[in-house]
Structure 1
Amino acid sequence: PGGSRRRPTGAQYSRHGRNERQQRKKEVISKMKRITGFFTPMTPQLDVQAENPGDNNPNPLEETVGDDLNSRAVEPINESSSLQSETATEQCPTTDSLSTDPAHWGKIDESVRAYWAGKGPESVQNKDANKRLFSKTYFKRKHLNGEYLPREWLLYSPSTGCVFCFACRLFGEGDGQSLFESGYNDWKHATRRIAEHENSDSHRKAMFNYINRAAADGVIDSQLKKQFESQCDYWSEVLQRVVAVVKFLSERGLAFRGSSEIFGRADNGNYMGILELISEFDPFLKSHIQLYGNAGVGTPSYLSSKTCDEFIELMSNRVLSEIIAEVKVTKYFSICIDSTPDMTHIDQLTFIIRYVSPEGLVEERFLKFLPISSHTGKALCDAVLTVLHEMDIDISNCRGQCYDNAANIAGVYNGLQAYIKDINPLVEWVPCAAHTLNLAGVNSVNCCTETANFFNFIQTLFNFCSKSTARWKVVTAGLQPNENHRIETLKSLSDTRWAAHAQATKALCRNYANIQESLMNIAEDSKQNPTTQNDAWSLHKKMNRLETAFLCTIWNYVLQRFHGTSVALQAVDLDLCNAVDLVRSLREYIVGLRDEFDLFEDQAKAMSPTVSETYKQDTQRQRKRKTHVGESATPEVHLSGRERFSSGVFLVVIDRLLAELDRRFQSYNDLNSTFGFLNNISTLSAEHLHKKAADLQKRYHTDLENEFCEEIIQFKEFICHDEPSSARELLLCIKKRKLQTIFPNVDVALRLYLTLPVTNASGERSFSKLKLVKNRLRSTIVQQKLNHLTLMSIESDLLRKVDFTDLIKDFAAKKSRRCHF
């Protein structure tokens, strides 16, 4: 019937079943992985092999491309396609314009051309790829004269086994007519076809296009690039002058800005004033200032305060990064902190870090100031950890801490040093030797009434003479110059600086008789008011006493030695053993003064003709003690004035000084017993050296290996001929001769020892820069800028060494797009 469906024939049934079976077979094959999918293909790298053959570093384009080119597996290919014959025009299923396989580039656009024109064909020739039929001889062209020239344009595709022309692939007609544009693999006629192609007009035209593009002459925006580069060069020249001025002012801690920011005015500040001064001898800068100096808002000049502040921050960060980089290289470091109020009564905490440089030199570098509101040990510990975390410095590598003797810092339970040792037990606390020596002297001053009255007399004498300019002129007119032809005037005392006591006693001792005569002239001057005359006469009488002259002599001797030792203890490269030796020598010197009473007495009597020959007690009536009921009437023992002064003043001062030195420097002796052998390795016996090294290795078992004991004994035999005297010279010897690989543990031990700080003098010196940078006229400076300027001023030696050329070029390149001529 016409409406019924027709039954399929047998042939139709057979054909339909065959199609279904083929379709199922294709689906099964498509789901199966190729055998190459189970292996990692050897894909050549893009940049590294082109520029550094043999380098296994990762491809620098990984961040741009996304996935690692070396970790890509070959994509599975439909098995049915493998049954077909591979033709020269067959495209690889993977498309990646940044691949080193030219068959993967896919569609060629302007960005691909620009990228590979800059890279060149060498990076994608794949000469070392596994080639089954293609010969490496094709990469060279032989001339009739026998010379060989490389075919730089010839590329090989490892995935398709075809060769491509680099120029035609990128800059060809794109119509697929050229076999080397779409891929060529007819190896039977390869020699003839390659020669025909490189002599063709289309190939030469493509090569010309590539050469022009590589030289950037054929790029559309080449003129814009030239203009941009010209602008960068111009602004780089300007910024070189700006950096030089910023460096000059920062080193000296001088102010930058003035009341105005206009060239030609006298109140435009040091920054613009120096630029004007340079422009008088620099035609380029003079022309720039004339064109853009006072152009106003909207016209860049790179001479404004904003640009100046940007470079202050950039240059400071560069210096700080240099310090942090050195600390990370050397690994071990120590910290020193101290605090002081600034001009605006903000308590500033200074951070100093001590380490041994890779060259073997001891360095103490300033990091920053941090405003604090709490002085508890816990708060200070949090501040230290915060700064170290900001600068990515690991506190586990800290081996020393040095502070003054304040209770909130030096306390063994709640002090800062206790909190730090809880975090890292290897951080040894070393009290500041300069502060300790200062405290030993201060406490000795108040050991008896006569000594305290003597220093009160020195301060009263200074106040009396300096209160009036007329009196000061009378006193200084009679002074005699010293050996340097300089007049040492009277000095005031200081509660915090012990050196002021040494300077005051020295000035008084040198001109004792002259000052007496000047006081007498003031006392006898009828033009002076009675109060001034009485004060001058009273001071003159005190100077006539033998006790005053004697104390002036003895304290001048003691304080000069204290001052010399204190100055030596403030050196940056001073090590712990030398500090202990200095204090020990000072102690031995004071011990020797116990038997010099007669010498000091004779010198006191010879200081002035009017000085009394007897002590005050010998001129006073002796008091008789009343005998009480029941008390035996034993005769009283009366000491002479000389004996009483010797036992009650002189020996008391000497003994108090010795006791304070012994008590306060005990901690240094403990550390010296641990590290002291490193300063005299060549003089110790092998058994003693082995024992000391074993104790040190046990204490620092995480830093020193078990072989340290045998290693240092061999090192002792090695240095026997040279005989360096100190640990610092030993470390310099190791660095100079590059012996770190032979004696690695000795190198670590010496670095640990020299890393330990001795004084916190660098922190005190940073306070001087703080007062210079944040003074009365710059009291509103923000904290960040304060740190930048202080860092460059304190670390001026490092600031001079740092090269800011790349910083200038980067800054000019980023900002030039905003400039308009």
Structure 2
Amino acid sequence: MGRCKQKDRERKRAAEGCASMFNFVSKKPRVPDEGSASLVGTSASNDEDGCLHAERSNDDQLKTQSIYTGPQVSSYDIGKVIQATMSHTEIDEAINNMSPGDKYMMLKNHVKPGSDYIFPKTYTGGCYRSFKLSWLQEFNWMVYSQNVDGVFCLGCSLFCTNRSAKGSFVTRPFTAWQKKAEKCREHQSSKYHQEALQLKDEFLSSMEKPAANVRTLLDKRKADNVRNNREVVKAVAETVLYCGRQCIALRGHVETPNEERNPGNFLRLLQLVANHNETVKNHLASPMMKNATYISPQTQNEILDIMGNDFILSGLVTEIKEAKFYSILADEVTSHNIEHMAFCVRFVDRESNIREEFLTFVPLSHTTGVYLAKTILQTIEKIGLDPSNIRGQGYDGAANMSSQNVGVQAEIKKRYEV
């Protein structure tokens, strides 16, 4: 008991020594919150724990006045998001309502007091104590909130998965400065703190390096597959086009690329391309999807169809439209017991060259003059030409084609002045 009384007397003498300080400041009495009083703006020195001794009145209430309001509080202050009166549920809702951009800016631009900032003093543990700026360097996870004069763990405040059982640093500011060393070390060694810091690092990585997050990695893999497939289809299409231009058959005796017997011109040429293209080589050796090899006869026909209709025919129609007037040529041919009509046009191009171009084959169900004339006109309209610009007709001598009464040429003349 004697030592305790002696320490009380020493504290009282120290407080009396500081009492003269209050004669130089403007004082306005106020009622302290819950038995504590706040004093800011004093020039008295702090001890190691940020303690400033001062005199207390007999009724255990100190009459002091805050004389420094500090600089303007930054908008990125976690103390503005987490209020002392908020419940755990309300805090969770407030954090969830923050956009990823707001969280990123909070982490990167949280307010940090300057070296000239004077921290508020709070009477606690027998003396005045305040936050010290050096603590932010000692504990790099810590942020100081000017709004509430307390510190938070910013990572835990934003990314803690279960804050219902958490207190200081997470759901409310830490202000017990006299227990700073003990509580800070206890917090930073906790499991939930380590988990929150990991989540924070992953969040920052996803914001700063979006190519590294899971969704983007999946999208990148998909993009790689699309790029590889396009490269394969391009090689296949160029091989088909080469065979078509050289008027050589595509298919052979077998349809297996590595077959020793003749697999046909198409597959042999594609193997030649694969020798100089790693993507095509890997695709032929082991396609990613067994039902998407792009080398089947069906795919070859589809590519020929696209080339014929979307490129070659489209280009010819454009040239014929530029010439405006043209003549039509048609003849019947039988293939595999099916009647077809070969349809061609004759026109003068922009360089004054007389050209005859094949446009399409048309299957026929009948061979009468009326039906053939109707089919020809429908084909002309289908490919985008104007039948009224026909200036000549050319057929063989068959009655259904050249008859003056029921032939194709007679039926077309009835509709258009050819």
TM-score bracket for the superposition, by shorter chain length:
0.3 to 0.5
What TM-score do you get using the length of structure 1 for normalisation?
0.24
User: Which structure dedicates a bigger proportion of its chain to strand?
Assistant: 2
User: Which structure dedicates a bigger proportion of its chain to helix?
Assistant: 1
The higher relative CO (CA closer than 8 Å, separation ≥ 6) is in 1
What TM-score do you get using the length of structure 2 for normalisation?
0.44
